[in-house]
């Protein structure tokens, strides 16, 4: 499997979200933070996104193609989790 385009902690732009009826609806573009990435065998990585100002991630997962753009990536030296991502919990 290839490396995901987006990483944990990335701030991304999205312009749609899942409605209560289960269909995608267009929204004004908003920023959100990727809080979880799960690899799938169907459409690649599924991203959980927490919108700015929200306390919980959105209930829908976003495929890479559903994310409009990368807004900001924390430089690795500033990422407090960088050591654990690289070396694991050894």
State pLDDT tens for residues 57-86: 777 889 999 999 999 887 766 666 665 565
> Does residue 1 surpass a pLDDT of 60?
no
Of 65, 76, 72, whose CA–CA distance to 12 is shortest?
72
For residue 62, the surrounding DSSP H or E stretch is strand 62-63
Please state whether 9 falls in left (phi above 0), alpha (psi between -120 and 50) or beta: left
Convert the pLDDT of each residue in 14-56 to its tens digit: 999 888 898 999 999 999 999 999 998 888 899 999 888 777 7
Decide the pairing of beta strands 69-72 and 11-18. antiparallel
Q: Which residues pair with 25 in a beta bridge?
A: 17
Rounded to 5 degrees, what angle do the CA atoms 64, 34, 47 make? 40
Predicted TM-score (pTM) of this structure? 0.75
């Amino acid at each position: 499997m290839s490396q995901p385009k987006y990483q944990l902690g990335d701030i991304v732009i999205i312009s749609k979200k899942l409605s209560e009826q289960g269909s995608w609806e267009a929204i004004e573009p908003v920023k959100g933070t990727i809080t979880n990435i799960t690899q799938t065998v169907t459409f690649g990585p599924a991203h959980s996104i927490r919108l700015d100002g929200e306390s919980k991630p959105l209930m829908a997962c976003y495929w890479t193609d559903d994310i409009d753009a990368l807004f900001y990536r924390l430089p690795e030296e500033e990422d407090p989790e960088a050591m654990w991502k690289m070396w694991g919990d050894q």
